[in-house]
Structure 1
Amino acid sequence: PPSSPLSLSVEEVSENSFTLTWKAPEHTGKAGLDGYLVEICKDGSSDWKAVNQEPFLSTRYTVPNLNSGDKIHVRVTAVGASGSSAPAMLEQPVLIREILQLPKIRMPRHLRETYVRHVGDAVNIMIPFQGKPQPEVTWTKGDQPLDTSRVNIRTTARDTIFYIRQAQRADSGQYQLCVRINGAEDRAILDIQVVEPPGPPQNLKLVDVWGFNVALEWTPPADNGNAEIKGYRVQKSDKKSGKWFTVLERCTRTSCTISDLIIGNTYSFRVFSENCCGLSDSAAVAAGVAHIEKTKTTYQPEKIPQRDMMEPPKFTQPLTDRTTTRGYSTHLFCSVRGFPQPKIIWLKNQMEIREDPKYIAMIEQGVCSLEIRKPSPFDGGVYTCKAVNALGEASVDCRLDVKGEE
């Protein structure tokens, strides 16, 4: 036979009817599902009556023709060719009266994910809800009432407040909030995680020493502080100074290689665990020390032939023709390379531009620029940039047109 229907609940209650919803059973049997039978029984009676005579396949059903003020028990049975399931029943009877507003929990967005607090912190959470008449509000943890010595609950007509003065790790877990009106209800889960710093790593070992390198291994801490271990901080200390220095921060593996150690020094090593609260209060210290000895090999530097850097001037970016307006300063740009650094000469209409306050010539990292300050139509013409060094010369030119203001 099929298994029982799932998640039976009251969707709506009026003054003479109520509406049920549920989910299909997990197992429907080899012969499949013919439908569902809905039965009701008045509170205080054991006389169950079928509401529908024939099975139906919908997972929603409205029970009509009831009297206001009645308390009705409900059960739903899945029916198949191989037999009937055990009935699914509501925990509480449904009170037949008009509900002006269905119960609804307005769970704040930040509480829809795991709510993380540190050991010793206060937990003070307000969750609003709605419903008319005023709903009945209940809190449970693991289907058991809350321990009032640890958790204080205060409920008003519009919200419920969940308060723990000093959180402990035992307060972690899922808390169920139920808001109910006459069998219609809404539920929400509050997932609390109380964390603290982890314990130190275990079994830290100095596995190998070679050259300027050391290999370390360890195992995760026995106590992770009720939170995921995000990584490990590895530190070294040389015998001469005795000071600790971090060499790896948030190492995600339980082994590492430390390089670039100094010849002749003797090193100790320690490792901290880290979770969302921070580092462990103490570190695991490796039992042995690593002495970096001098190697007997001698280094023979490779002979690199000197490169001839000499190069005649060559323009890598030419001048470009420009048009400007009278009275507005303009710039000409080009770029050149060469070694030794070329001497730059600017010419206008084949005449060298010497010290003239109208022109400002500059060169920086191979980029040549000529600023022409407040030009007039007389300043138009062909401008040439010539680069000269001991190996030769090169030049580029452009035309500058200066238009009068309109």
Structure 2
Amino acid sequence: MPSKPAPIKKAAKKEPAKKEEEKAPEAAPAEAAPAEASPAPAEVEAAPAEAAAPAEGEPTPPPADAAAPATEETPAAAEAPADAPAPATEETAAAAEAPADAAASTEETPAAAAAEAPADAAAAPAAEEVAPAVDAEAPADAEAPPAEEPKPPTPPPPPKEPTSAPVDLFVEDKNDTSVTIIWSQPEVVGDSGLDGYTIEICKDGTEDWKAVNEELQKSCRFVIKNQTTGDRLKIRVVAVNAGGRSPPVALPEAVLVKEVANRPKVRLPRFLRQRYVANVGEKINLSIPFTGKPKPVVTWTKDGQPLDTKRVNIRSTDRDSILFIRTAERDDSGVYEMCVKVEDFEDKASLILQIVELPGPPASVKIVDTWGFNVALEWTAPKDNGNTEITGYTVQKADKKTGDWFTVLDHYHRLNATISDLIMGNIYKFRVFAENKVGISESATVAKEEAKILKTAIEYKPPEYKERDFTEAPKFTTSLNDRATTVGYSTKLLCSVRGFPKPKVIWMKNQMIIGDDPKYRQVCVQGICTLEIRKPGNFDGGVYSCKAKNTLGEATVSCKLEVKQPVVPDSEKK
């Protein structure tokens, strides 16, 4: 019987079905969404009609639109998700292939779906042998979920608008080859933002606008370079963003490519506005700034004549001019004039340079008068003042005996002076130095004459006094004393006497006048009378007397001199 083999096939295919049922849950979540996107009802209904008839003896499959669950006798169980709206279950054998077919069916036209349906239906009987049995517990009245309505298409975004025109365009600077312009960003930028600016130029009288920047300019300042001097340019700026170009903003008038001429001006430093003084041999380095545009032409003159380039060096830059003298000399003094010129405009400034040194000595010095302890001097200014005014003089004197010079006056401003407090009886010489800002002259001028301070005659009248009688007879104020001496040792006898007139002194020995005996030396000074006995012997002892005698009288004093023998030790006696 043909109906009996079906149970045998069912029993043989139970184990693979169980294995596929275990794998099916893993793919089910990913396949759920595609399974819902089923084809239109017309496509589903067309598939069963074109399917091949089942073999003789097998049960007839239910219609495709029936909600009955698939069994082992259903021929198209493997292709059910693609051709029928039946919901996919965990027990469906062809769950892995459903998403691909379902996704394709959502995008294909109904005609294409109908063409594929017979092919799938023809393969259904062959799949009967491998299709697992559907769970018998599936509901018999289950229905397919309703199809989703298609979403309306997204409307295109509104077109982007360009910005408004830039504002406040004007020329910041220009020279012979370039023009610098600046501007402000547009008042209205919009949501699309601002990408940059394009700067365009054309010659005056034409409309041939050309961009001068290859890339968009981000900043609001641009230098238009490499232009021809004398051209007149029309300039405009356009803002650019995603919406395109903005309306341009242009300069009201064409710009002449030529450097703006500023009047030249010499900025003479304050210390050079008066006379500049320097010493001979110093280095002169004066920097004088100036302004002007374009670069002014600088010229120098000295006392109205061109400069001697061997003596004076001039170095000029765009901002200042430097006057340099390596070693200053007196001849470098004068009025220097600096002139800066731009086109028809010029400015001048003058400075006075004075090179000074030590002055020479006064031309002449002479003594005009001498009286008492005073001397009057006069002198004349030096022939060489060191190229500056004389600030004073220094006057010195010297005594002819010593020859040493002493300063009497310094920083003296007049050409005559009176020297006082000189010493009577001395002879003096005088000299004068000149002085200026640099210092005192190295040499001085000496007066040819000499000044002698004479002694003046003085009449002295002594006071009248009564004459006093100083006469006095001789009187000894110190008498003689007895003396003892040793043989061979000299000795002296002393006494003092007074009297007026001066008394005459006589020495005696044993009442005998000694006289001029060379053994004795007699001295009488200021009333002190001395008798020296030179190396007395055994017979020089005795009584010595001193007598003083004048017209009023005489006086005598005496003493005894003993001459002893020297003591001889006992050892020498033996």
Q: Based on CA coordinates, which of the two structures has the bigger radius of gyration?
A: 2
TM-score of the superposition, structure 2-length normalised? 0.35
| Structure with higher helix content | 2
| Structure with higher strand content | 1
